[in-house]
Amino acid sequence: MTEQDNLQNKEQPSSGETALMNQVQISAAVNAPANAPEKKPRKRHLFAKGFAFGMGVMLMICIMLFLVLMLTRRVYISGRAGLADAELIAKTESIAYYLKSHSLYDYDPDALRDGMLQGLMEGTGDRYAQYYNTQELADLMNDYEGNFCGLGVLIKQSPEGDVYVSGTYKDSPAEEAGFTEGDVFKAVDGVDVEGWDRYDVAELIRGEEGTSVTITVYRESTGETLDLTATRKQLKKIDVEYRMVSDTTGYIWIKDFDEVAVTQFAEALEDLRSQGMEDMILDLRTNTGGLLRAVLDITRQIMCKGVIVSTRNAQGEIDSYKCDGKNEFTGDILILTDGYTASASEILVGALKDHGMAISMGTTTFGKGVVQDFFYLSDASGIKFTTEEYLTPNGTAIDGVGIEPDIVVEFDYDRYIEDKTDNQLEAAIEYMASH
């Protein structure tokens, strides 16, 4: 029962008292002087005034709240408090309406949303910033773990831009379909890929397990253009290949710095040492990087005691990653590099060279001296952008510059296509034999 209900109950007589009160009121009216003032119900009058005052206060509060919200909105629109303000949302809805009402072409609303979010990342000016929808991020993480669905074909790109086959996984769909080293990609399922980047070609080749893909290649050794069809299947990445190239020199090719690379590198070291390896050729050509933790774990398997790399964030804070030197490789190390040797690969090159443990041969590395972090969103999608730059042990920043080789040897692509000769590897073997 409310306070107002109590007040009304007090003012209302019981049914038994009503007749008596009526008689009293009639009698009072008859006996009262004609000019006697009428009595007013003061309690009701005070309640009405209080109610009106309360409503006025509430109205003032609402007006003030509205003004505060409008001010906040203006700050939001100006960008000082966020991005997804009311004006932007309204503009986005307007664009969606116009597209739906007037576009000549069909479009996927999900693709529009993904494109909008990717555009947001591109707007940062960070060339490495990226938005990944839920499926893309899951695929990427799966790839980092060493799993993928594809053909098992290894891809490189020539200085002229030709994307070609550099090898195939053993017992893979690519091997069964007849791909050979040197085959140049021309089309994938009828899509012309000439002039494409090798990563885009690789992405087009991958797909769902059990689906087939037809790839058109040009085989220079025979002058033929061939259509090779293969069925995609789940494969485990082989990030590390190795062999002995002389009685005392082992060769290790690290293709990517994924989770599986750490174990595969350790296995390669153990096997090659059992075969008599004293010196090492470390091939990082076409290795565009990968996980920071992976390259740190691999570096710690061969480096002396000291700093591997240092990172510096936007606040100028520096963190150093170190090696205890317990697994130091005591033989000579020669590292092969090219213009695709980037990021995590350059961390390994810079660490070994700055500590005087290795020399490099080939061509200047790519020059990606920055680190990206992943941030996960509520729907399991995510973003990646640059958060730190890194410095080699000597404090050198190599972003946009790269690491020059101690011995310059250009890759002879024509010779490789002609007879599969890797002139850079041959030069490395000769150098190790003579030193």
Same structural domain, 260 and 202: no
Total domains in the chain come to 2
Beta bridge partners of 326: none
In a domain, 81, yes or no: no
In a domain, 399, yes or no: yes
Of 360, 368, 333, 376, residue with least CA distance to 134: 376
Please spell the DSSP secondary structure of 52-88, one letter per residue: HHHHHHHHHHHHHHHHHHHHHHHHHHHTSS-S--HHH
Same structural domain, 420 and 352: yes
Same structural domain, 223 and 348: no
Helical ranges in 103-224 per DSSP H: 109-122, 134-144, 173-177, 198-205
pLDDT of residue 196: 92
* Contact indicator for 318, 311 with CB cutoff of 8 Å: yes
Same structural domain, 261 and 175: no
In a domain, 414, yes or no: yes
Same structural domain, 264 and 246: yes
Same structural domain, 219 and 297: no
Kindly report the CATH number assigned to the domain that includes residue 232: 2.30.42.10
Return d(Cα 87, Cα 393) in angstroms, integer: 49
Secondary element (H or E) of residue 204: helix 198-205
Please spell the DSSP secondary structure of 332-392, one letter per residue: -EEEEE-TT--THHHHHHHHHHHTTSEEEEES------EEEEEEE-TTS-EEEEEEEEEE-
Of 182, 185, 181, residue with least CA distance to 204: 185
In a domain, 117, yes or no: no
Same structural domain, 227 and 247: no
Domain that holds residue 301: 240-434
Same structural domain, 194 and 218: yes
pLDDT of residue 409: 98
Same structural domain, 269 and 380: yes
pLDDT of residue 40: 47
pLDDT of residue 67: 62
Same structural domain, 426 and 280: yes
Same structural domain, 366 and 267: yes
Kindly report the CATH number assigned to the domain that includes residue 304: 3.90.226.10
pLDDT of residue 418: 85
In a domain, 1, yes or no: no
Same structural domain, 418 and 297: yes
Residues of the chain with pLDDT under 70: 1-52, 65-82
Provide the residue count of the chain. 435
pLDDT of residue 79: 38
